[in-house]
Each structure stands twice: as C-alpha cells, then as structure tokens.
Structure 1
Amino acid sequence: MTIIDEIAVGQGTARIVVADITTLEVDAIVNAANSRLAGGGGVDGAIHRAAGPELASACRKIGGCPTGEARLTAGFALPARHVIHAVGPVWSGGSAGEDALLASAYRESLALAAANDLRSLAFSAISTGVYGFPADRAAGIAVDTVRAWLSDRSQPQTVIFCCFSEESARHHQAALAGKRN
C-alpha cells in the first residue's frame, strides 16, 4: 500500500492510498456493487472472490439494493470485518441525476459505518469502472461528500480512498486539495 496523501477533517482523517482494497485491514471496505449485489467484474468481482462464497450467499439473502443506497454484510475471508455494498449510478451523460446518486451512495455508506460503530472505512472509486462515471468528477463528489460528513461527525474516524491506479489517486488528491484536473 502506498499512501499518497492524508488530511485531518473534523475529528477524522481522510487518506488516499494506491492498493488492492481486498488486502486492507479496516473495519469495512466499500464495494462498488451492482443493484443485484451479485459479484460482477472489476472491484466487485475481486471482493467477491477474496471474501469467498459466503459473501454471495449473504448478498442473495439481502435481495438487492437500489442505486444510491448501500447494504452491509460480513467480510468473511477478507481482512476487513465488513463489506458495505454501495450501488452507484451508470453514467448517462450527466443529466440523469448521476451526481446526486453517487453522492448518496457515499453518504449511505458513511451512515452505515457510523450506525455500526465502524471506525475505519475504505472506499473503492464507485461507478468509475464499467459504469463509466468520469473518474475526475467522481473523485470530486467522493471527496466533497466525505469531507462534509467528517466535518460534523465522529464516525468513521478514518476514511480511505483506495485507488487501484496512480491516475485515480491523482484525481482524488486534486479533489482533496480543492482542485479539479
């Protein structure tokens, strides 16, 4: 894991790292899930593979999750104790409420973490893979939503933006610095 940046926000800390999210020892990782909560490709598939078949079984019991919302399961074979499955929007050009839905997926994940006393949380870059959300725009929404949450709440204490690539990390770092690239 490579730490790219870290800042204090309110009573918490926001950190940008380049790592494989399935390897992080945190209270919860946030999966960029599909609405069926069925393991797909990208980070979703990687999380399901690393967690083992119990994760798919737990997700089937939940029965799905609407776009902009999130659901909590155990982490099973992952180093993380829990997985928060957040469903972000498919990019449709920006005029179908995608920004609000993405911000909602982040807020709902943070609310689940707080409600379950989870102190450390690692986000994948929700909706930026096969869902096609522009990575720089998504990073700005992610950082702004987390910053607003942490500014007046004590849980979670540590929020990690876990980027799979240096490019994604640069987008998050620019957003954290208040710049857009």
Structure 2
Amino acid sequence: MYATVVRSEDYRATKLATTARLLPDLLGPDAAPFDLRFRSSDGQSARTADLLLVSNGPYRLGHLGGFGTRERMDTGLLGVVTVTVDRAWDVTALLAAEAGGHLERFHGYREWTTPAFRVDSGVAAIDLGIDGESVQLAPPLEFRSLPGALRVRVPVEAPGAPPAAVAPAGLSAAVTALFRVLAGRSARPPAPGG
C-alpha cells in the first residue's frame, strides 16, 4: 500500500490528502488483495496484509502519516507492524483509529518484534516503499537487524532527539514524569550512579 501511495505524483506535496484519496481504491471492496506470505507474531502462516512495515527496531506508532518514531535501533530486533482491512467498513474504523492517534485499537492492527523476518509472494516482484521511495524487489525478502553496524550518539536533550527516546512509554510513566515536573525536577529520573 505504502509503495503505491509514494509512487503517486501528488504524494510529496500533499502526503495525507494523497493517502486519503488512494485508500478507498487500495483497501476497498473491489481492491485485489496483496500477495504477501509471512509468519505472524504467534508463528502462524499469514496470507496477506494491506500494510506491512518492517523496521530496524520497533516504532511507536500513533498515525499512519508520520509512521512514528523509534527509541533505539541497536536492539538487534526488527519491528513488524501489519494492518489488515477485511471488510469495507474497516476503512472507516482504521481512519478513526488513526485520527485519534490509537492505531493499536483497530482490530486489524498487529505489532511485534523479531530477530529475523521473511516475506514471500507468488508475484515476480513486490512493491516496497523504502524511506519514501517506491521500489520493486523479487521475493523472498529476508530482513534482519545488524546491531552495531551504524553508531550514532545523540544526547537525550539534543534538539531532534527521537520523541520515543524522550517521551514516557505508557500512562504510568507519563503520570510519574508529570509529577516529577510538578515537583520541580526533571521529567526523567537521573541515570543510575549519576
């Protein structure tokens, strides 16, 4: 789905509008299902997904448009997200979950981590979107993370630090951070031994 959207001439200028315009044709009742075969989080064989995201490290997703942020890329794990739309009214439910910033509430949304991931297909080439570019690659696609292949050190307080690295994960951590700030302390507890 993402590869088709980024291939559109209008995508660069109006990403969200282009995505909204193309979704009904890509996910509607007359859309042909994508031929993707992989193992789901429970190890079962999956026959397709309308959106399949494989990333170096898991993303914290809230919206389809921005594709979230990652806290780390050095865990040696891939983040895998699938979105599957089974019925016509699922598109409305998906858009509502996306608009509210809670994709995880959509029944066709799954996410998990794994050290390796394989995608197979009966087509000669699979359409992919890689960093905003549309490409085609022959199956099978083999994904794995190479921890330490790239090293980047960024201070937590540096401008441009990924939001997942500085934002509390979950309601309990957010409330704790809020109370720390209200008490006049940093939202993040001091590092051990620091």
TM-score bucket (shorter structure): under 0.3
Q: Give the TM-score normalised by the residue count of structure 1.
A: 0.25
Greater relative CO (CA pairs within 8 A, separation 6+): 1
Q: Give the TM-score normalised by the residue count of structure 2.
A: 0.24
